[in-house]
Amino acid sequence: MLRRLAADDLAALAALERQAASPPRSRGMLAQTLADIDTRVVGIEARGRLVGHAIVARLPFEAELQALLVAPDHRRRGLAGELLGAVIEQARRWQSERLLLEVRAGNGGAIALYRRAGFTEDGRRRGYYPPREAGEGREDAVLMSLPLDRR
């Protein structure tokens, strides 16, 4: 079940981040995100447990996808696709011109998901992300966007 998350969902959201994100967002940062009027957090539940979430922020002309995360034991079932659909709907309600995101160049799974949803690559930021593992180099960010028709 998809729904908008609110302050009450902070503990579940922080638990999902700790389980599935690297690095996880802090509880304080998540609390701020949930309270921000220009940000929406959408969650997806399975049997009463939060198993995925997406964060989208409203910018002056555009919207930005700031997080998309699905619990490892619930991946490849289409949940990220559903969350992304809800984020796109929200950005359309805001009348955003485009939905923007940045993703690690090595995150082939996420890039495939975004391409499938219609995003195209706008460019790269060289060495934007810190290394994922000790001994690895910094990683490029791929900048992607999806134009939204403003009906």
- Report if residue 122 touches ligand COA, rule: CB under 6 A: no
CB nearer ligand COA, residue 77 or residue 124: 77
Residue 7, both tokens: 């302050």
DSSP assignment of 41-95 equals EEEEEETTEEEEEEEEEE-SS-EEEEEEEE-GGG-SSSHHHHHHHHHHHHHHHTT
By CB under 6 A, which span of 28-36, 88-96, 108-116, 132-140 interacts with ligand COA?
108-116
User: Would you say 107 and 128 are in contact if contact means Cβ atoms under 8 Å apart?
Assistant: no
- Report if residue 13 touches ligand COA, rule: CB under 6 A: no
Rounded Cα distance between 64 and 56, Å, is 6
DSSP assignment of 17-45 equals HHHH-SSPPPHHHHHHHHH-TTEEEEEEE
By CB under 6 A, which span of 9-17, 86-94, 104-112, 127-135 interacts with ligand COA?
104-112
- Report if residue 86 touches ligand COA, rule: CB under 6 A: no
CB nearer ligand COA, residue 37 or residue 122: 122
* Smallest distance from ligand COA to CB 22, Å: 8
* Smallest distance from ligand COA to CB 25, Å: 12
- Report if residue 142 touches ligand COA, rule: CB under 6 A: no
- DSSP H/E element including 127: strand 120-129
Residue 100, beta-bridge partner list: 64, 145
∠ CA 78-81-86 to the nearest 5 degrees? 130
By CB under 6 A, which span of 3-11, 71-79, 131-139, 141-149 interacts with ligand COA?
71-79
- Report if residue 81 touches ligand COA, rule: CB under 6 A: yes
Residues making contact with ligand COA (CB under 6 A): 20, 68-70, 75-81, 103, 107-110, 112-113, 116
